[in-house]
Structure 1
Amino acid sequence: MGQFRQRPGRETGSLVSMLGPVNRGWFGKVDGWLRSAANGLFAGVCVVCSEAADPGQGLCDECAAALPWNRICCARCALPLGADAALCGDCLRDPPPFGSARAIWRYAFPLDRLLPRFKFHEDLAAGVVIARGMAEALRKAPRPDALIPVPLHRRRLRERGYDQALELAKILARELDLPLIVDGLRRVIPTKAQTGLDARARRRNLRGAFEARTFRPWLRHVALIDDVMTTGATLREATRALRAAGVERVDVWVAARVQ
């Protein structure tokens, strides 16, 4: 994968100049959406059921207690497992190119309500709740050199109006005090929707879909950020692009893993 074309006025020979102030002072700079979402949280209403909630949490006690934490899972791909095991069968047969995956929750209630609302219906308050929960769960995770969100193709971005992985990554970068590289990956092929495709078809659909900036030798360890991991095909392909660009270790951080 080649290096992106250099933008005017930006040096590419330094990680610091590449990152710039992306994750500094971002509150209120993203078209005001984060401030509006936070105001909604502080109204003391649960974003799932609209019952009274802790203003700082955004969830009522019942919905918070229902969060499906993904604690028993494959150490490599975070697939939820029924019993303790180091690796799932798929990872034993065909290990993914990323080093490890952290999926904070299983894709079940209330994540199956929150994530579609955030991803498809512009419910940005739900995104704030998800990202804050992720940040708390990841505070003790091995710290990468930077965060890189899995990007949408520009055509899909125009349709949706915002990139949900990027919005999660912005909050994670702020909460965890980590650099954020917004344009570390580029989606160069407008792949068709993955819904309804089996694992093999998903991989074929995504082959060659990403290009990565050339990072060697400035960046060794990154965390890829996305909302949901189903078969892992998207994250595998994004990881391959980053590894080809010189990144030595790629970890995956997602909100939820489909069982």
Structure 2
Amino acid sequence: MKMVYNWINIIQDYLLPPTCILCGNPGHNSRDICHSCYTHLPRNNLCCYRCAEILETPTTAPVLCGRCLSRHPAFDETYAPFIHQGAIRHLIGTLKFGANYKNARLLGMLLADHLKQTAERPDLILPVPLHKARYRERGFNQAIEIARTVAKEMQIPLDLTSCRRNRDTPHQTQLPAKKRRKNLKNAFSIINPIHARHIAILDDVMTTGSTTHELAYLLKKAGASRVDVWVCARA
């Protein structure tokens, strides 16, 4: 099967050569990003292993940030290979607000490349759901579009039907911590049984971690023993 995928990639690269979304130069490693732009992506190499918050003090061992030490989030680990700045911010923003679907494929491939090297394989991937009103407004869920590529690249089942967003909650960035938690209380519900023990929640960017905490709490209450968070970038 792997050989078949390799031949498909070779034919696709020949007929439709990858082109850098950011600068227009030829793509690198069958990705729509050139080597130069790839090397300049803002990487999140120094971060809290639980919430991926960017740390300032160098460390050689996995560490927790002060927030995770004082208030344990419901999820277990977060994998966020990039910082939400520069080119990554542009790719996510023009996907979310400009419906540039090719960005989702690139972001999914970049995320999968990182996860293959660092993450324990879950039983399934669950993209963060959008409320139906937001979905009608935007026409798609960017988390699902990214997750489709990650699921295909890593050959992990994708769950799009078990969880629902009950309320169209306002953005978290302008709210203090207490209001964030209140804002998301009962924001999600499980509508179909989930039998997986290890679940990866997938989203485009993590800002405060409140959304993924609420969803992870619900999944663990429903029977999951481990919930990780996979995001393209950490703000």
- Structure-1-length-normalised TM-score: 0.79
Aligned length: 219
> 1:72 and 1:55, CA in 2 relative to 1: closer, same or farther beyond 3 A?
closer
2:155 maps to 1:155: no
* CA–CA separation in structure 2 for the residues paired with 1:128 and 1:69: 19
| Partner-residue secondary structure (3-state), 1:228 | strand
> By how many angstroms is 1:50 displaced?
2.6
Shift of the 199–50 alpha-carbon distance from structure 1 to 2, 3 Å rule, reads farther
- Is the contact between residue 224 and residue 253 of structure 1 (CA under 8 Å) also seen in structure 2? yes
C-alpha distance in 1 between matches for 2:36 and 2:163: 39
User: Where does the alignment leave 5 or more consecutive residues of structure 1 unmatched?
Assistant: 1-37
The whole-number CA distance in structure 2 between the counterparts of 1:187 and 1:173 is 21
Q: Superposition pairs for residues 6-155 of structure 1, below 5 Å?
A: 42-54=16-28, 56-82=30-56, 83-84=58-59, 86-140=63-117, 141-155=119-133
Residue-by-residue CA offset, 1:134-187 (whole Å, 9 max, x unaligned): 111101311111111100001100110001111111111111011111112110
Q: Report the secondary structure of 1:251's partner residue.
A: strand
Q: 1:55 to 1:93 in 2, by over 3 A?
A: closer
1:55 Cα deviation (Å)?
A: 7.3
* Counterparts in 2 of 1:42 and 1:106: CA distance versus 1, 3 Å: farther
Q: Kindly provide the amino acid, as one letter, of the partner of residue 153 in structure 2.
A: E
* TM-score of the two chains, using structure 2 as the length reference: 0.87
Structure 2 unaligned segments of length 5 or more: list them. Answer: 1-11
What residue number does 1:8 align with?
none
Instruction: Identify the match of residue 177 of structure 1 among 130, 150, 155.
Output: 155
Range moving further from structure 2, 55-64 or 128-137: 55-64
Q: How does 1:201-212 map to 2 (within 5 A)?
A: 201-212=179-190
| In 2: Cα distance, 1:55 partner to 1:147 partner | 25
In structure 2, the residue corresponding to 1:172 is in which secondary structure?
Answer: helix
Q: Does the 8 Å contact 1:42/1:55 carry over to 2?
A: no
RMSD value, Cα: 1.9
The structure whose residues are more often helix, as a share, is 2
- 1:166 is aligned to 2:144: yes
Distance across 1 between alignment mates of 2:163 and 2:188? 7
Structure 1 window deviating more from structure 2 (62-71 vs 123-132): it is: 62-71
State the alpha-carbon separation in 1 of the partners of residues 27 and 192 from structure 2: 45
Deviation at 1:126, TM superposition (A): 1.1
Moved over 4 A (4+): none
- Distance in 1, matches of 2:178 and 2:68, equals 15
Note the C-alpha offset of 1:43: 4.3
Identity %: 39
Secondary structure of residue in 2 paired with 1:126? helix
Given that residues 147 and 224 in structure 1 are in contact (C-alpha distance below 8 angstroms), is that contact kept between their aligned partners in structure 2? yes
Is 1:188–2:162 an aligned residue pair?
Answer: no
The aligned amino acid for 1:253 is W
Q: Distance in 1 between matches of 2:42 and 2:216?
A: 27
